[in-house]
Structure 1
Amino acid sequence: MSFQPVFVQFWEKVKESIANGTYAKLTLAKTIGDTELKNIYVRPVLLANDVFSLSLSAKYKTEEIESFHTIDEAFLVLTPYLNNPFLTALLFTTENDITFKLNKKRVASIIEQAPTFKHASDVIIEMKAKGII
């Protein structure tokens, strides 16, 4: 069974958290074995003229590569990294922490826990103040 339908549900929670101003950060982590790519961090940014974008920072052993994408583009960019090399995606919001997880048999699940962060990301707070969200 494919994990993609569950990741689509997870991504809906990402979009909801941005829309309602509770998004703190998103991290792809827990690699399979020793890989060159260690983490991908997803942070909201405001580009010129207050254009909302997501910054994807891919942390490798020897370098970091940053790219900017719309919410829908980010989904397409991140999906191929699930299952190879990442087994988890962690969404931190002010309401709860939501974890997309692939187990050893590559069955996907979504787990919700108490929030780690008390405040949304600075960009989300700025967007609320400017009336963008």
Structure 2
Amino acid sequence: MPYQTVFVEFYEQVKLSINQGTFAKLTFAKTMGDTELKNIYVRLHILETGGYNFAFNTRYKSEEVESFHTVDEAFMILSSYIKNPFTSALLFTTEMDLTFKVNKKNAGSLIQQLPTFKHISLEMDEMIERGIIKI
């Protein structure tokens, strides 16, 4: 299956984990070759207005950059990094770990494993407490 279609499924699982209150973190890793960009860590960021967006911690060889993006912007930005330079992304929830991978033939796959994290992120917990996410 083309990796773009599989990445859409993966991102839907990211949004679902937030809506279900199980999100722990999202990580982009495994680059193609030795690149300046090393990884991207995505966490939830609570807005003063009562909503949320994503905080990206983008790590390069020589620096780290933090930026904030809406859920829709995040999809566009993250999808642009697939195969440029990342070949995998990992969604950690309290119910499962979900790995998105793309191979050399541009085929995408999803691999579900037992959860690494037993607890949701602090931001996810606060969002539930404040009623931003209703589970």
Aligned 8 A contact 2:38 2:59 in 1 = yes
| Ranges in structure 1 where 5+ consecutive residues have no aligned partner | none
Partner in structure 1 of residue 12 of structure 2 = 12
Q: Which residue of 2 aligns with 1:98?
A: 98
CA distance in 2, matches of 1:66, 1:120: 21
| Amino acid aligned to 2:95 | E
Matches within 5 A, 1:102-121: 102-121=102-121
Q: Is the 8 A contact 2:45 2:52 kept in 1?
A: yes
- Residue 132 of structure 1: how far off its partner (Å): 1.0
Q: What TM-score do you get using the length of structure 1 for normalisation?
A: 0.96
Per the alignment, residue 25 of structure 1 pairs with 25
- Name stretches of at least 5 consecutive residues in structure 2 with no aligned partner: none
Distance 2:121 2:108 in 1: 27
% identical equivalent positions? 59
**1:90 Cα deviation from its structure 2 partner:** 0.2
Q: Per-residue displacement from partner, 1:74-131 (whole Å, max 9, x unpaired)?
A: 0001111001100000000000000000123221000000000001110110111111
Q: TM-score when scaled to structure 2? A: 0.95
Q: Name the residue aligned to 2:44.
A: 44
Q: Take 2:105 and 2:49, find their aligned partners in 1: how far apart are those partners?
A: 46
- d(CA) in 1 for partners of 2:25, 2:38: 17
Cα separation, 2, equivalents of 1:85 and 1:14:
21
What is the DSSP-based 3-state SS (H/G/I as helix, E as strand, rest coil) of the residue aligned with 2:49?
helix
CA distance in 2: counterparts of 1:2 and 1:35, whole angstroms: 24
Q: How many pairs does the alignment contain?
A: 133
Match of 1:130 in 2: 130
Could you tell me how far 1:68 is from its partner in structure 2? 0.7
Cα RMSD for the two superposed structures: 1.0
Tell me the residue number matched to 2:55. 55
Three-state SS of the structure 2 residue aligned to 1:48 is coil
1:69 aligns with 2:65: no
Task: Report the 3-state secondary structure (helix = DSSP H, G, I; strand = E; otherwise coil) of the residue aligned with 1:24.
Answer: strand
